[in-house]
């Protein structure tokens, strides 16, 4: 009986996911066709969203708060651009390599894994700064402070132009959804269970054979990989890179705001948070307050935390339960 109900509810969630995915892939580009500005804002918000999902994965599963994701973003973007321009790689494999390079760079963060809470966050912040300096000084490879221009655009594949706004939207949407799916599967795996156990019972978890340091490192590599991929996407989408842009602290700050606002303990919360936060910022706050509109982001985040510390998605889910009964009715 319970099994039947569980299966029915799972079928319902799968059906719902398919409907939402179809809407995202088809309805959004259709509804926004011709409005290139709005479309570019959506793409940018998903770019933030991709980092936010990766950042939340590290926080949720690895128990690590990072202030340095801009480093992984920047490394991914430079690596992919350089591979395409200097070594003639095709763009999509180069993006993958960009993610891998970000993971490799994360190896340098490993010694900080033993640090707890704010100390880890600060150590990573310092790392991020180092990479920015390297990108500025290693002129032969990165073009130095002047940056790299005319980075190749996404190709035409199967007759479809991925360099178009809709094409870019599909690429970043696919990346972000894939990340969310990966987060979901890892969280529900035995590794997710061990990681959850580790957070407040590290000694007990190690005593039953869990290599907690390795698991944390894997989450760091995974998160860095995802962030690097997003950076690579952005490089080929914007077609221009300079150290102050690619390693900008905004690539750390905005995803954190988005993740916390949307609900960093949830899988899709950071994504929803990114879209809401970024669109509000660009469409509303910027219009009202052309200079210093980021202050409004801070205020909004503060208000959200005061209202519901869990974030937007958990708040909505709670409201829904109170007013409409449970999400999956036991009918």
Partner 1 sequence: MLEIANIGVRFGGLRVLDDVSLQVGEGEIVGLVGPNGAGKTTLFNVISGTVPHQAGTLNFGGSRLDAMPAYGRARCGIGRAFQIPQPMHALTVAENVHVAQRFGAGRVDRRAQAEILDLVGLTDKAQRDAATALSLTELKALEVAKALAISPRILLLDEVLAGLEAHGKRMFTQLLAEVHARYRIAILIIEHDIETISALCPRVAVLNFGKLIADGAPAAVFRDPAVVASYTGVPADA
Q: Is 249 exposed, middle or buried (0-12, 13-18, 19+ CB in 10 A)?
A: middle
Least distance between partner 1 and beta carbon 272 (Å)? 25
User: In sequence order, what DSSP letters do the residues of 155-212 get, joined into one string?
Assistant: PEETTEETTSHHHHHHHHHHHHHHHHHHHHHHHTSHHHHHHHHHHH-HHHHHHTT--H
State the alpha helices, DSSP H only, in 2-68.
2-22, 28-31, 36-62
Q: Which of residues 38-77 bind partner 1 (CB under 8 A)?
A: none
Q: How far is the CB of 117 from partner 1 (least distance, A)?
A: 17
Considering beta carbons, is residue 215 or 277 the nearer one to partner 1? 215
The residue (of 13 and 211) whose beta carbon lies closer to partner 1 is 211
Q: Decide if residue 3 touches partner 1 (CB under 8 A).
A: no
Q: How far is the CB of 66 from partner 1 (least distance, A)?
A: 21
Shortest Å, Cβ 54 to partner 1: 22
- Tell me whether residue 79 or residue 210 sits nearer to partner 1 (CB atom): 210
Looking at the Cβ atoms of 203 and 324, the one nearer to partner 1 is 203
Residue 330 CB contacts under 8 Å (≥ 6 apart), including other chains: 5
Which residues does 97 contact at the CB level (< 8 Å), separation at least 6? 79, 80, 83, 89
Number of residues that bind partner 1 (CB under 8 A): 18
Q: Scanning residues 183 to 242, which ones bind partner 1 (CB under 8 A)?
A: 190, 193-194, 196-197, 199-201, 203-212
Q: Smallest gap, in angstroms, from Cβ of residue 213 to partner 1?
A: 8
Q: How far apart are CA 174 and CA 98, in angstroms?
A: 17
What is the binding site for partner 1 (CB under 8 A)? 190, 193-194, 196-197, 199-201, 203-212
């Amino acid at each position: 009986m319970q099994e039947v109900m569980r299966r029915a509810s799972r079928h319902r969630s799968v059906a719902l996911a398919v409907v939402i995915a179809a809407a995202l892939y088809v309805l959004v580009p259709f509804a926004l066709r011709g409005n290139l500005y709005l479309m570019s804002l959506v793409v940018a918000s998903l770019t933030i969203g991709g980092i936010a999902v990766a950042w939340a994965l590290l926080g949720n599963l690895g128990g690590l708060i990072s202030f340095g994701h801009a480093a992984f973003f920047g490394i991914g973007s430079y690596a992919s651009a350089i591979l395409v321009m200097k070594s003639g790689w095709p763009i999509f494999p180069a993006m993958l390599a960009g993610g891998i390079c970000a993971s490799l760079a994360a190896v340098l963060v490993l010694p900080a894994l033993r640090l707890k809470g704010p100390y880890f966050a600060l150590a990573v912040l310092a790392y991020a700064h180092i990479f920015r300096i390297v990108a500025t000084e290693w002129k032969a490879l990165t073009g130095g402070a002047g940056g790299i221009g005319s980075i190749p655009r996404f190709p035409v594949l199967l007759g479809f132009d991925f360099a178009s706004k809709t094409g870019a939207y599909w690429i970043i949407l696919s990346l972000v959804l894939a990340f969310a799916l990966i987060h979901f599967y890892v969280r529900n795996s035995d590794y997710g269970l061990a990681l959850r156990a580790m957070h407040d019972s590290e000694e007990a978890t190690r005593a039953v054979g869990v290599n907690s340091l390795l698991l944390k490192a894997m989450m760091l590599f995974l998160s860095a990989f995802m962030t690097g991929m997003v950076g690579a996407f952005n490089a080929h989408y914007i077609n221009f890179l300079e150290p102050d842009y690619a390693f900008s602290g905004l690539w750390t700050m905005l995803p954190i705001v988005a993740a916390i606002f949307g609900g960093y303990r949830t899988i899709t919360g950071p994504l929803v948070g990114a879209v809401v936060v970024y669109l509000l910022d660009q469409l509303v706050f910027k219009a009202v307050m052309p200079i210093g509109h980021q202050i409004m982001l801070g205020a909004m985040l503060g208000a959200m935390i005061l209202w519901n510390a869990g974030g937007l998605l958990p708040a909505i889910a709670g409201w829904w339960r109170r007013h409409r009964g449970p999400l999956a009715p036991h009918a």
